[in-house]
């Protein structure tokens, strides 16, 4: 399911108003066609590799080679996770199969 391709970027974090460390994951799948909140996703973190892989359920069902983001983890484990594309605007994903992006 997952391979050891190079990470696309580092996970973005923020600190909530009550001081929690919150990890922010992209809200759109790597292919750029699905909202992860809508179709569902799987996030699998590997402490050993320091990477979290975020797989789009819709792309995974279609066995798209680019069904998952690979994001580098930094620092201590977050208290919770949010989905937001904003911190990732401008990030160019490392695609196995390059294609035009159609966000939304
Ligand atoms: Zn998708």
How many angstroms does the Cα of residue 17 sit away from the middle of ligand 1? Answer: 31
Structural domain contains residue 2 = no
User: How remote is the CA of residue 55 from the centroid of ligand 1, in Å?
Assistant: 8
Q: Are 93 and 69 in contact (CB under 8 A)?
A: yes
Tallying the residues shown for the chain, one arrives at 104
Q: Separation of 26 CA from ligand 1 center, angstroms?
A: 12
34 Cβ neighbours under 8 A, 6+ residues apart: 28, 56, 58, 59
Residue 31 lies in a domain: yes
pTM: 0.91
Domains identified in the chain, total number = 1
| 95 in any annotated domain | no
Residue-number span of the structural domain to which 74 is assigned: 9-88
**What would the pLDDT profile of 20-74 be if each residue is shown by its tens digit?**
999 999 999 999 999 999 999 999 999 899 999 999 999 999 989 999 999 999 9
């Amino acid at each position: 399911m997952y391979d050891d391709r190079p990470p696309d970027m580092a996970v973005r974090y923020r600190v909530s108003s009550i001081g929690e460390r919150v990890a922010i994951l992209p809200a759109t799948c790597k292919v750029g066609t699905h909202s992860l909140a809508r179709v569902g996703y799987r996030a699998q973190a590997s402490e050993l590799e320091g990477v979290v892989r975020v797989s789009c359920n819709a792309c995974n069902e279609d066995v798209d080679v680019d069904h998952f983001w690979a994001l580098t983890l930094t620092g201590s484990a977050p208290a919770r996770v949010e989905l937001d594309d904003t911190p990732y605007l401008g990030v160019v994903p490392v695609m196995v199969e390059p294609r035009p992006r159609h966000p939304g």
